Structure 1
Amino acid sequence: MTGRDDIILEMLSESGVVLNKRGLEINLQREEADISYSTLQRRLPKLEDAGLIEEVVEQGAWYAITEEGEAYLEGEADLRDTDDPDGS
């Protein structure tokens, strides 16, 4: 996992809402996080594959954090070494 993944997970966790990619992008910009839409397009599938987020609406791809994602944020799971080295 990457530092940007942590920011994405924190946004979903702290907001407690389900967001699509555009909603995430807008809210991350409002928080002055340096995460582009293209980064979200790359990272969300990886977070989903890792079980940290889930797609809750198939049309339009809306995402929510999972219990495993919450555990990761709380330091109960370390997944940093499971990602590719370039963080993409």
Structure 2
Amino acid sequence: MPHSDSFYSTTDLSRKSGDIIAEALQRPVTITLGNKPRLVLLNIEDYERLLRQSDHRMPGTIETMPDALISQFESAVDTYAQDDEGGRS
């Protein structure tokens, strides 16, 4: 996705919304507030591409881990420990 090279203030957005929207259909447009970037307008295709590329993994704890996954994890640790002990002799 192209980087936003176009910056407009929120005042510009209220005054030139049609032009800014037309530009945002072609490439991302940054909206500033107090000279700081605050929003990005982008077309739906770029937005959907970002969603597809995002990482949907959720952090968890051992308490929330399913029992089957805990068993797999324990088995993998045991196997690793046995292999490591075998390599030290």
Larger radius of gyration: 2
The structure in which a higher percent of residues are strand is 2
TM-score, normalized by the shorter chain, greater than 0.5 = no
Structure number with greater CO (CA < 8 Å, separation at least 6) is: 1
Normalization by structure 2: what TM-score?
0.21
